[in-house]
Structure 1
């Protein structure tokens, strides 16, 4: 007697489809489970991969040209990176937090003194009169001025405090990522082989090429965006400290953040130039103004050089990917956005040029 009186018995092919579907479902569940387990470490691991890729040329030179062992080279690079990147960042962070605390304390104790504005401020176009009146009121009675504009000032101050707190968290994350990147450098050969095999499985011969493209893109973004931002911030810091600008540490931190997010240091430069001409004037004001303008223009020269150096795609593709990625996913999007758009561009060009 048939077990399927009203229909045909299932064919062997349908059983295979169910079998493969169950396997794919089990694999998907396993991958999602693994993702949730690794999610707390995902951002530090991505940053570590970025740093490892950036430090690799130095590691390669130390191991191949000078004969250092992998472990020794990775340890040296890690310690050097911590010394060069973390120590100054912590120093400026502590200085900025201390200056901000001092600012709040002086405001609370009515001890903050603001110099009277220069009469020439009135002659500035559009904002001259209003800026002069606000500045004059603040220099005469700062407490009353703050009370009158507390609705506008309070959100700014809260955002400033939140910015410093997030910066401190970022520095800690940066330190952890650099340490992990040292471990990655020590096992660089095994990781490179794994990356080539993975990209090869996903995209064949072109996939292996894309592994190298992704690595080059990360290095270019680090040099073209983070590197240029670090250079600009360092030069800004030198100018502010030598000119004796108050709360220099705080302005240096803000300059670094604005440079990384591609707003640029123009807002800081304008404020500094206004302050120096209104208080000091003379040679100091002229030199600092020229210095801030030159530093502000520096990224227009360095960025195209670093972003496009050695890249197999136009510099504009890398730049748009980095900025779009940042707007979509924050700092880590600087790298993921550039890589995704670069890979997409390569696939697009290959498809357009294909003869089949």
Structure 2
């Protein structure tokens, strides 16, 4: 009898498991590569579906609408409210930018002379007045002298319009997909609970609810507040007759979403209106822009953390960190990931084992 049994069976079993894991890895990577072109629209669709669900639940429950009718109505309303104004601003901004390039090329662009009161402004008054006066008297020469500084700015503006237009198409597709998700909400909720249950054990279903609530809060607290602010800014700029209002509205939306705020746009608009008008319109626009700039301080704490089972700071840091890490979609995925991590960490700290 051999006292040292052969390790061959154990080795064969290890090789068998290794091959199974390798085959599974290849299959997962292959599936991911196939789905990758649709990944961002699907994530956006899930975000919108989660955000629209309270409305869908009220329509199907309280008012007795069918799932399909409710999902269709919400999808059409979302397209009208979100896409139509965005397309309008994009077309207006593109037209204004084209007009600007045309006027510069034909030497027809004129800048009004600065107000003498600008000289009295602290720190920058004299230099700003001299630059403005030089540009108003000979714009072509001013543009030639600063062509190296202006070229990258103009290229970024063109790129901004192009990226915004592609983003609108992405949002349109995502909203349509979200309507399909709303129509099959029960099946998707069951799948999500099972998935989170497999990943998180007993805490899984609770984490699924937290993720859903977090998405709704972030949409209301960041995207919703940014949309409200931008709409109010646009009303003020259009009524006051500010040139290139479409471009400033787009920039205001981006600055509001990334949490810089509309202050840079407000300062520029206020300087312009007081330098060219200085009357009742300037006073009204200044008050309007200041009030609009303060709206997020009131709405954001209400919407961003309302009903959340985690501290508002966690949601906020997750949204901003996610944006810095993976762009606009990171506003949502970052908040969800950080919230789930926070819940896991809290469960670990509170455990007695």
TM-score by length of 2: 0.97
Q: Does 1:167 find its partner at 2:164?
A: yes
Q: 1:177 aligns with which of 138, 151, 174?
A: 174
Q: Which residue of 1 aligns with 2:343?
A: 346
The aligned residue for residue 196 of structure 1 is 193
Tell me how far apart the structure 1 counterparts of residues 15 and 74 of structure 2 sit (CA, whole Å): 52
Secondary structure of 1:311's aligned partner = coil
Note if 1:146 corresponds to 2:146: no
Q: Which residue of 1 aligns with 2:226?
A: 229
Cα distance, 1:127 vs structure 2: 1.2
- Work out the CA distance in 2 between the residues paired with 1:45 and 1:130: 51
2:93 to 85, 92, 96: 96
**Structure 1 runs not aligned, ≥5 long:** none
Q: Secondary structure at the match of 1:310?
A: coil
- The 1-side partners of 2:64 and 2:105 are apart by 60
Following TM superposition, by how much is the alpha carbon of 1:11 offset from its aligned partner in structure 2, in angstroms? 4.9
Aligned alpha-carbon RMSD (Å) = 1.3
Q: Which residue number in structure 2 is paired with residue 42 of structure 1?
A: 39
Alignment of 1:323-342 (within 5 A): 323-342=320-339
Q: Does 1:287 align with 2:284?
A: yes
State how 1:181-330 maps to structure 2 within 5 Å: 181-330=178-327
> Aligned residues, how many?
352
CA deviation string 1:124-171 (max 9, x = no partner): 111111111111011101100000000111110000100000000000
- Gapped runs of 5+ residues in structure 2? none
Q: What residue is the counterpart of 2:56 in the other structure?
A: 59
> d(CA) in 2 for partners of 1:240 and 1:306?
26
User: Aligned partners of 1:65, 1:331: CA distance in 2, in Å?
Assistant: 35
TM-score, normalised by the number of residues in structure 1: 0.97
Matched position secondary structure for 1:68: coil
Q: Deviations over 1:32-61 (max 9, x none)?
A: 110000000000000000000000001111
SS of alignment partner, residue 70 of structure 2: helix
Name the CA distance, whole Å, in 2 between partners of 1:76 and 1:229. 24
